[in-house]
Structure 1
């Protein structure tokens, strides 16, 4: 069953069916924009175009390009200078939410945290101490 929603692009109302988050009119405009971008990128001399260059030539918004790359509509294997911003630092990445540098930093910090946690647990165990009484020892 459809529900009435407001389109985030044009603020018009539409029946949301769970397929798209925007109204059919904005969806058609986005599809037309995609075709313009794709035709631009298919030309051999434009395959290495940056996001800024694509925006300049086609007029399509950066966020829209990033969304297409993130969803896999524009493949970075075919267009090497495309990507979307890392959620942490903003550097362009092509996979996941974090760029390689931020992933490595996060892994290093997690390893440091785990090592510190293990060390703390070892120290706590040693601080509790276990004392053995030798009952066989003569006094």
Structure 2
């Protein structure tokens, strides 16, 4: 009785959810669309140059991120980028900030990984040296 009714209701609801298509789009005016393209292009250019000059790219990304932050930044703010981001739709501003956060976090993680590798290589070469010395004595 009651269990069958619950199953029927659950099946009907599942059937409805399968027929519904949800599409979430950010509504932008032409100026906001252009600002988003411009901001994305600037970030893409920094990422492209990233491999050539890691240090410069990291500081450039930090200044772009500072332009998106409402808090007082620790370093310089890219004023031009800030005005471009302000021209974007609010949802796009959040996405740009998240993308920059992710890029900076990835850089930080790769820096840590490199330091760990260097440290472990240094430690392993030090442990090899005493044993090599002992063989010659």
TM-score (norm 1): 0.35
Q: Whose relative contact order is higher, 1 or 2, with alpha carbons under 8 Å and at least 6 apart?
A: 2
Structure number with greater Rg is 1
TM-score (norm 2): 0.36
- Structure number with the higher helix fraction is 2
- Structure number with the higher strand fraction is 1
